[in-house]
Structure 1
Amino acid sequence: MKIRYMLLHAYGMGGTIRTVVNQAHAMVEAGHDVEIVSVVRRRDEPQFAIDPRVRLSALVDQRDGVVADSLARKVWRRARGKIVPYGEFAAEYFTERVEGAVIDYVSELRDGILVTTRPALNLIAARRANAGVIRVAQEHMNLASYHEAVREQIGRHYGRFDAIAVLTETSRREYTDLLSGTPVVRIPNAVHMDQRKHTDQSNPIVIAVGRLVPQKGFDMLIPAFAAAAAEHPGWKLRIFGTGPSKERLQERIDESGMRDRIKLMGRSNRIHEELAKSSVYALSSRIEGLPMAMIEAMGHALPIVAFDCPTGPADVLTPGKDGILVPPRDVDALARSLSQVMGDRDLRVRLGAAAAQTAHGYTPEVVMPLWEKLFAALATGAPLTDPAWAAR
């Protein structure tokens, strides 16, 4: 089969990019003709290594630079495209030139499978791709996280897809309710678990990983940990990641009086070593798609304490078995649960062992065959009835 994956910026960093690169590698390894199409290119080389058997191309070369943010917003308002709605998280990328390049590309395709990976690209593919192309929309966020204007366009146009692939059972139900008659399948992102060292619970460290942005809720994790740490003097919190909220988060740490126990660690190329050295993983997000960093932590046998935010954590965890879920944005409840697991090593070991077992359900050996089955069914016109597509 000829499979084309379209990403906004395949040369950048991010969970969606990494996930799509992994999918492309699995499909080319299975013998398929695979290409990754990057809408824009802002670097000479991709940040993730790409198998040389996977072709990589770009539609708009922006290596000479892009306009400064404030000016870009003004330019976008004057020269924006006509399909990508206001409110799409990456809308400002889609000037008339960029949107036009995507429209030209998808409208010239005549065969194969086209997989688009965010609402902006999905909407263009739905409205402009030819009937001879099998169209698959990937959704990496839950429906409720999108701006109202984006949801309205999804409801209007996604029915043209041959299939919509989502990450969680909650999202599958949401999209199925919105798009009656359109196949919606659940295929989670895959996480490599090879040679993952399990924590030995010897270090009193709570770890969190993610972009330093409001979505990740580290502004709530800091006071929650500070409250729990008052009862557990030896414990520390390590937050790994970079982002625009760094200064504000550091101010919160300073205000908490925990500067010696809460650290913003920046980006690490050895994050799996850091996970294995920790004893608890905390997820404080306001919203998630599928929390990949949490699943990776589970692969290290780390117990999870997480907000039951929409969506993701509850689609992965079984409360009391492999982690603890607390009500969304309830800082006091997060503090109490952190304190509970920090103070009970036996509980951490039990939850962590179950977490490691759960994580194996997200390995490439489990996930990638679901993609190949989907593509084969779409290519032959077979019904999409595999129960794994609707299983948790």
Structure 2
Amino acid sequence: MKLVYITNGINGSGGLERVLSIKASRLVAEYGYEVHIIVLNNGHLDPFYNFNTEIFFHTINSNRKGLFFLKDYFVKIKKMVNQLHPDIVLVCDDGLKGFFLPKLLGKKRPIIYERHASLAINTGNRFYGGLMRKLMRFLAADFTHFVVLTPTNVKEWNSTNIIVIPNPLTFYPKSSASLTTKKVILVGSQSYVKGYDSAVKIWSHVGKSHPDWELHCYGKKDSQNRFQNEAQKSAITQMYFHEAVKNIEEKYLESSLLILPSRSEGFGMVLIEAMACGVPCIAFDCPSGPSDIINNDEDGRLIENGNISAFTDALTSLMSNEKKRKEMGLLAKRNAQRYLPENIINQWNDLFKATLQ
């Protein structure tokens, strides 16, 4: 069976790229699929994650802007897909343009959309954000299947073609974090959506009461260093900002807690990765993902979305209670097993076979 994935690029360090590397590689190696990935402007060069060498990459190049870019993009996408003659097309693009591909490509073959972000990310100002959400919901019905990551995501779309398939784990180490180090970890692009401004506020309180603890942040840096500058202006110590690293598993294993102060998530890949390493997680109950992954007060803590004070209290409580951290860590590692790749990739294989019946 031949699959064609359409995405913007696979050379970033985000969750979409990480999941696609795992899924596409296993579909080739373990299920015998022929997999092609179409990217924009050579977005396949120097990938951050490893992809199976038998995957075929294709690029659509365009230096045009606005509507001229969209016209160029759609013409070239249609031509390339028709040349490849796939059995199934899969769209991995959280922007608006990917929603128009069923109308562009027609009904010659099944087209499956993979949503890797909450609809809440497409907000902007009230008028524009509301218009975007309505348009996306309307266009979502054109896909053969619309795959979301959690049951909570289903409620955002109100469509009959929705299927839930969560992300697979990247790793599941035999060892677990000792949870004795005085290190907290935050993983994700250093941005407003990921709540880095909230992390600075939280650590401004936590750092004072626990000066011997450290917060290490890993992710694509903000070009203006806004959050790092905020931390410096607030005289916050023991908060360190790092670029994304490929050996993030090692960083989880060195940590005792993970925090996720995001305003929205499509899933929360970092939650299941940390849990696989036996690290308890504290997250805002944002749309969508954390509440589907974390069992509150069992393997982690869910905090009312945006409540800085409650987040700070939960974090300091677990920093002060090694016994509770270890109890949560054991449950977190066990509960993360439901996201093992062999369980998730098989769901995709079943979906592809059922789609072509």
TM-score where L is the length of structure 1: 0.83
Post-superposition shift, 1:198? 1.0
The match for 1:312 is 289
The match for 2:126 is none
Post-superposition shift, 1:170? 0.8
- 2:240 aligned with 1:263, yes or no? yes
Give the partner amino acid of 2:89.
Answer: L
- 2:52 aligned with 1:51, yes or no? yes
Q: How does 1:369-388 map to 2 (within 5 A)?
A: 369-380=346-357
Asked whether the 8 Å contact 1:208–1:282 carries over to 2, the reply is yes
The match for 2:9 is 9
- 2:2 aligned with 1:20, yes or no? no
Q: How does 1:230-245 map to 2 (within 5 A)?
A: 230-244=208-222
Asked whether the 8 Å contact 1:165–1:187 carries over to 2, the reply is yes
Asked whether the 8 Å contact 2:114–2:148 carries over to 1, the reply is yes
Secondary structure, counterpart of 1:208 in structure 2: strand
Q: Indicate how the Cα distance of structure 1 residues 334 and 113 shifts in structure 2: closer, same or farther if over 3 A, else same.
A: same
Per-residue CA deviations over 1:274-330 (Å, capped at 9, x if unaligned) read: 211111111111111111112111111111111111111111111011111111111
Tell me the distance in 2 between the aligned counterparts of 1:49 and 1:271.
Answer: 14
The match for 2:125 is none
Post-superposition shift, 1:42? 4.7
The match for 1:37 is 38
Secondary structure, counterpart of 1:321 in structure 2: coil
Q: Indicate how the Cα distance of structure 1 residues 108 and 286 shifts in structure 2: closer, same or farther if over 3 A, else same.
A: same
Secondary structure, counterpart of 2:190 in structure 1: coil
The match for 2:131 is 149
Post-superposition shift, 1:231? 2.6
- 2:87 aligned with 1:112, yes or no? yes
The match for 2:331 is 354
Tell me the distance in 1 between the aligned counterparts of 2:324 and 2:38.
Answer: 46
Tell me the distance in 2 between the aligned counterparts of 1:50 and 1:254.
Answer: 39
Post-superposition shift, 1:111? 5.0
Q: Indicate how the Cα distance of structure 1 residues 100 and 12 shifts in structure 2: closer, same or farther if over 3 A, else same.
A: farther
Post-superposition shift, 1:200? 0.7
Q: Indicate how the Cα distance of structure 1 residues 123 and 294 shifts in structure 2: closer, same or farther if over 3 A, else same.
A: same
Q: Indicate how the Cα distance of structure 1 residues 154 and 340 shifts in structure 2: closer, same or farther if over 3 A, else same.
A: same
Of structures 1 and 2, the one scoring higher in RCO (CA 8 A, sep 6+) is 2
Give the partner amino acid of 1:112.
Answer: D
Tell me the distance in 2 between the aligned counterparts of 1:203 and 1:268.
Answer: 20
Give the partner amino acid of 1:116.
Answer: V
Secondary structure, counterpart of 2:65 in structure 1: helix
Per-residue CA deviations over 1:38-80 (Å, capped at 9, x if unaligned) read: 13315644333321222111122x6xxx6xxxxxxxx634xx1
Q: How does 1:116-265 map to 2 (within 5 A)?
A: 116-118=91-93, 119-146=95-122, 147-175=129-157, 177=158, 179=159, 182-195=160-173, 197-244=175-222, 247-259=225-237, 261-265=238-242
Secondary structure, counterpart of 2:193 in structure 1: helix
Asked whether the 8 Å contact 1:39–1:102 carries over to 2, the reply is no
Asked whether the 8 Å contact 1:142–1:311 carries over to 2, the reply is yes
Give the partner amino acid of 1:76.
Answer: K
Post-superposition shift, 1:246? 5.6
Give the partner amino acid of 2:4.
Answer: R
Q: Indicate how the Cα distance of structure 1 residues 52 and 236 shifts in structure 2: closer, same or farther if over 3 A, else same.
A: closer
The match for 2:78 is 103
Give the partner amino acid of 2:171.
Answer: M
Post-superposition shift, 1:358? 1.8
Asked whether the 8 Å contact 2:173–2:276 carries over to 1, the reply is no
Give the partner amino acid of 2:2.
Answer: K
**Higher mean C-alpha displacement, 356-365 vs 334-343:** 356-365
Secondary structure, counterpart of 1:203 in structure 2: coil
Post-superposition shift, 1:271? 1.9
Q: Indicate how the Cα distance of structure 1 residues 373 and 214 shifts in structure 2: closer, same or farther if over 3 A, else same.
A: same
Tell me the distance in 1 between the aligned counterparts of 2:44 and 2:346.
Answer: 32
Instruction: Indicate the percent of aligned positions where both proteins have the same amino acid.
Output: 25
Unmatched runs of 5 consecutive residues or more in structure 2: 123-128
Asked whether the 8 Å contact 2:3–2:86 carries over to 1, the reply is no
Post-superposition shift, 1:245? 6.0
Give the partner amino acid of 1:207.
Answer: I
TM-score where L is the length of structure 2: 0.91
Secondary structure, counterpart of 2:47 in structure 1: coil
Post-superposition shift, 1:169? 0.6
Secondary structure, counterpart of 2:225 in structure 1: helix
Tell me the distance in 2 between the aligned counterparts of 1:42 and 1:50.
Answer: 13
Post-superposition shift, 1:215? 0.8
Tell me the distance in 2 between the aligned counterparts of 1:355 and 1:130.
Answer: 44
Asked whether the 8 Å contact 2:218–2:242 carries over to 1, the reply is yes
Post-superposition shift, 1:155? 2.8
Tell me the distance in 2 between the aligned counterparts of 1:358 and 1:245.
Answer: 37
Give the partner amino acid of 2:195.
Answer: G
Unmatched runs of 5 consecutive residues or more in structure 1: 67-74, 82-93, 381-392
**Higher mean C-alpha displacement, 116-125 vs 271-280:** 116-125
**Residue 273 of structure 1: which of 250, 260, 285 is its match?**
250
Asked whether the 8 Å contact 1:102–1:124 carries over to 2, the reply is no
